[in-house]
Amino acid sequence: MARALQFPFLWGIPLLPASRVIGIDPGNRCIKLVLAERCFNRLRILRRVQLECPGWLGETNPKDTENRLAAALEELGPYPVALAIPQHRTLSQVVDLPAVERALVARLIQNEVYKLGGLGQSRVAHDHAPLQPFGRHQHAYWVSLCQESEVESLAARLGLDPEIICGATSAGNALINSYLARFPETTATVLVNAGLRSTTVAILLEGQGVHLASFALGGELFLEAIANSLDISLEEAEQKAMHCNLLQGLDAVPALKTSVDNWLGELMRVFQEWHSEQGMLVPPAEVFQFVLTGSLAEAPWFAAYLNRSTARPVFGPWPEQEDGGNPIEEGRFAIARGVAAQALGKARQSAALLPMETRQHWRQQRESQLIQTFTFLLLCLAGLVLGVGTWRMSREEARLSEKLEAAQNAQTRVRVLKELSRQHAENVKALQPLLEREQFTDDLLRALAWVESTKSTQTWWYVLFADAQTYMTGPPVMESATVTNAPSIIGPLPLGESSPATNRPPPKPGFVAELCIPEEGEALRRSLSQTVAALQRNPRFKNVDTVPPEQRRALAEPKALLPNPERHFALLLELATNEFLTVSVPSTNAVGVSSAGGSSGQPAGPRATRPIINPERQP
């Protein structure tokens, strides 16, 4: 069953479809594996694994290698794999096409593939990529092809299920992609991968691969020369080659030197043939830099021997990655990294060699994975929105509950305040009569004291002092004969009794003082005016004026009166506003004053509760 493309994970959270792929470089000496991930359009190498092949000389059962590879794949995870096909089993070539529309390019490339593939019956897998103009090529395309059976045979040799293979490319194209990922603007470079049984040569120009070739000379030839010269086994020759300089000094092996020179001559032949084909349109050979990788590059004496002459090109190691690392290890896993980049769509120069049906299958699966990922992200987004909405609604509900509770508390406080206000009003209403009587008593005593102070040096005398309400309840002067035997009442009328003159308007709040002035003429008027002026100096009196004859009452003691009624006067002492008299009016009985000017009496009896009306003075 085919494995699906897996998600990349960040802190355990799946992000984008991705893409994790295991790139495999099935070399003859060892198998290199890299676990690569494409995340946010960036390629990362997560793990590197190298499997030694003890049976590379045919002494061990190949099943052991298959089992070790299966265990390594299981450890890396259930991810699809991409294979590097040996370069000598593939073909990559620059093809010039006429300037045609893009829609016709695929048909022309198909025709070129038929020419390059020959008349064999095997189906050919191919891919192409456009190139920038270089040398004598103006409309160049990079065409890579191989027989479809190559992928199946390689998978069978490694014991892999063909359904888990999501990508395949040649070792040379993988080498180009790996180098261009590090140096995309490289100008003139030759990549040399010296393997055990063959050497792959890739030429890069102006940031693109322009030539791929291989020749059947490699490390195995050098090991055989060492083993034959020293009469040792190939394993011993390999150990000696990795730890001793066999080209110089006492340990030098002449046969090895001859083999290395032959290898270098074949390498330079491949390069010179391509360079001579391009002519003067490419940089000179001295400009090209040579990058050495593979099993031979790990021998300390190999690169030093190649660089011994200034006339030859300089061979350098595989460059370090941006995040650092050992150059030898980076070069060892360069092909596996390039294969993974091709499978993840990060190749600058595409050369996919899977059959077209298989590529379409993986493309559909990637699109399905992408849809599932966006669906998952939409579900996460919807869950986030619902969560935020639920949180906001819960907050709003809590806030409304707080407001409702505050409103209920406010209503409770309002009811409590209304109840307290009602109780306060009842308390004030209960205390109002007492306060009114207290104020009336105070006004009475102060007014009486003030009246007495105005009499101290005068020849006239007071015959009556009473509150205005009680005074007005008495009989008029013309009816005095009918009420001479009426009992004397001091203070307000008792409750339940009414005045004889019930139709009269209630008097103004204040007191009435009657006095007799024995003088005559101008002296009488002067004494009366002085008395009125003296009484008006009291701030408690709002107004002091004589009572009209028709409103006078016959309450004074007749024995204290002068025989001439024209010398008998009644004064109304109107009090200023009393805040305790706004609801009820106090009432007291008259207080008698002796003819000698002394006065005595006490306020007594409850006040009659009737509204105060300020009647206009009658003429």
* 224-243: average pLDDT: 86
> Does the pLDDT at position 33 exceed 60?
yes
pLDDT at 282: 85
Phi-psi region of 578 (alpha: psi -120 to 50; beta: other; left: phi over 0): beta
Q: Count the neighbouring beta carbons within 10 Å of the beta carbon of residue 71.
A: 11
pLDDT at 335: 93
Domain count, the chain: 3
Q: Is 451 exposed, middle or buried (0-12, 13-18, 19+ CB in 10 A)?
A: buried
> Does the pLDDT at position 268 exceed 90?
yes
Per-residue confidence at 541, pLDDT binned at 50, 70, 90? confident
Of all residues in the chain, the percent with pLDDT exceeding 70 is: 82
606, part of any domain: no
Q: Count the neighbouring beta carbons within 10 Å of the beta carbon of residue 167.
A: 26
pLDDT at 549: 84
Per-residue confidence at 610, pLDDT binned at 50, 70, 90? very low
pLDDT at 212: 95
Task: Give the residue among 95, 413, 228, 259 at the shortest CA–CA distance from 237.
Answer: 228
Whether residues 101 and 244 share a domain: the answer is no
Whether residues 194 and 213 share a domain: the answer is yes
Give the model confidence (pLDDT) of 396-409 as tens digits.
999 999 999 999 99
> Does the pLDDT at position 594 exceed 50?
no
Q: Which of 144-153, 319-328, 571-580 has the lowest mean pLDDT?
A: 319-328
Whether residues 443 and 502 share a domain: the answer is yes
Give the model confidence (pLDDT) of 414-430 as tens digits.
999 999 999 999 988 88
pLDDT at 493: 44
Q: Which two tokens stand for residue 576?
A: 């200023």
* DSSP 8-state class, residue 569: E
Distance (Å, whole) CA 609 – CA 619:
28
Whether residues 101 and 151 share a domain: the answer is yes
Whether residues 202 and 301 share a domain: the answer is yes
Of all residues in the chain, the percent with pLDDT exceeding 90 is: 29
Residues with Cβ < 8 Å from 611, sequence gap 6 or more?
506, 583, 584, 585
Taking the CA of residue 350 as centre, how many other CA atoms within 13 Å lie in the half-sphere pointing to its CB?
13
pLDDT at 118: 64
262, part of any domain: yes
Q: Cα 381–383–389 angle (5° rounding)?
A: 100
In which domain, by residue range, is 291 found? 185-318
Give the model confidence (pLDDT) of 425-451 as tens digits.
998 888 888 888 888 888 888 888 888
Per-residue confidence at 73, pLDDT binned at 50, 70, 90? very high
Whether residues 234 and 150 share a domain: the answer is no
Per-residue confidence at 601, pLDDT binned at 50, 70, 90? very low
378, part of any domain: no
- Regarding predicted confidence, which is higher, 484 or 93? 93
Whether residues 246 and 99 share a domain: the answer is no
161, part of any domain: yes
Per-residue confidence at 223, pLDDT binned at 50, 70, 90? confident
pLDDT at 508: 80
Mean pLDDT score across all residues of the chain = 81
* 182-202: average pLDDT: 91
Q: Are 196 and 29 in contact (CB under 8 A)?
A: yes
Q: Are 226 and 260 in contact (CB under 8 A)?
A: no
- Give just the sign of the alpha carbon dihedral 73, 74, 76, 77: positive
The CA R_g of the chain, rounded to the nearest whole Å, is 64
Whether residues 337 and 207 share a domain: the answer is no
* 40-57: average pLDDT: 79
Q: Are 321 and 328 in contact (CB under 8 A)?
A: no
Whether residues 481 and 516 share a domain: the answer is yes
Q: Are 87 and 29 in contact (CB under 8 A)?
A: no
Type of residue at 487: P
172, part of any domain: yes
> Does the pLDDT at position 473 exceed 90?
no
Rounded to whole angstroms, what are the CA distances from 162 to 3, 61, 159, 486? Answer: 11, 22, 9, 141
* 581-605: average pLDDT: 39
pLDDT at 191: 95
Per-residue confidence at 103, pLDDT binned at 50, 70, 90? confident
Give the model confidence (pLDDT) of 116-138 as tens digits.
766 566 788 989 999 999 888 88
Q: Are 8 and 312 in contact (CB under 8 A)?
A: no
* 248-255: average pLDDT: 82
Q: Which two tokens stand for residue 172?
A: 């040379």
Residues with Cβ < 8 Å from 491, sequence gap 6 or more?
467, 470, 587, 588, 589, 603, 604, 605, 606
Whether residues 18 and 160 share a domain: the answer is yes
64, part of any domain: yes
443, part of any domain: yes
Q: What proportions of the chain, in percent to the nearest 5, are helix, strand and coil?
A: 45, 20, 35
pLDDT at 500: 46
Whether residues 485 and 588 share a domain: the answer is yes
pLDDT at 130: 92
Rounded to whole angstroms, what are the CA distances from 219 to 33, 200, 492? Answer: 21, 12, 142
* 493-511: average pLDDT: 58
> Does the pLDDT at position 151 exceed 50?
yes
Q: Which of 236-250, 316-330, 500-514 has the lowest mean pLDDT?
A: 500-514
Q: What is the DSSP string of 78-142?
A: S--EEEEEPGGGSEEEEEE--S--HHHHHHHHHHHHHHHHTT-SS-EEEEEEE---BTTBSSEEE
Q: Which two tokens stand for residue 299?
A: 């021998």
- Give just the sign of the alpha carbon dihedral 234, 239, 242, 248: negative
* 233-248: average pLDDT: 83
Per-residue confidence at 55, pLDDT binned at 50, 70, 90? low
Whether residues 294 and 334 share a domain: the answer is no
431, part of any domain: no
Q: Are 241 and 226 in contact (CB under 8 A)?
A: yes
Q: What is the CATH number of the domain that holds 311?
A: 3.30.420.40
> Does the pLDDT at position 482 exceed 50?
no
pLDDT at 457: 66
Domain boundary among 335, 354, 373: 354
pLDDT at 501: 46
Give the model confidence (pLDDT) of 567-581 as tens digits.
888 999 888 876 555
Rounded to whole angstroms, what are the CA distances from 266 to 88, 199, 217? Answer: 15, 10, 8
Distance (Å, whole) CA 589 – CA 531:
24
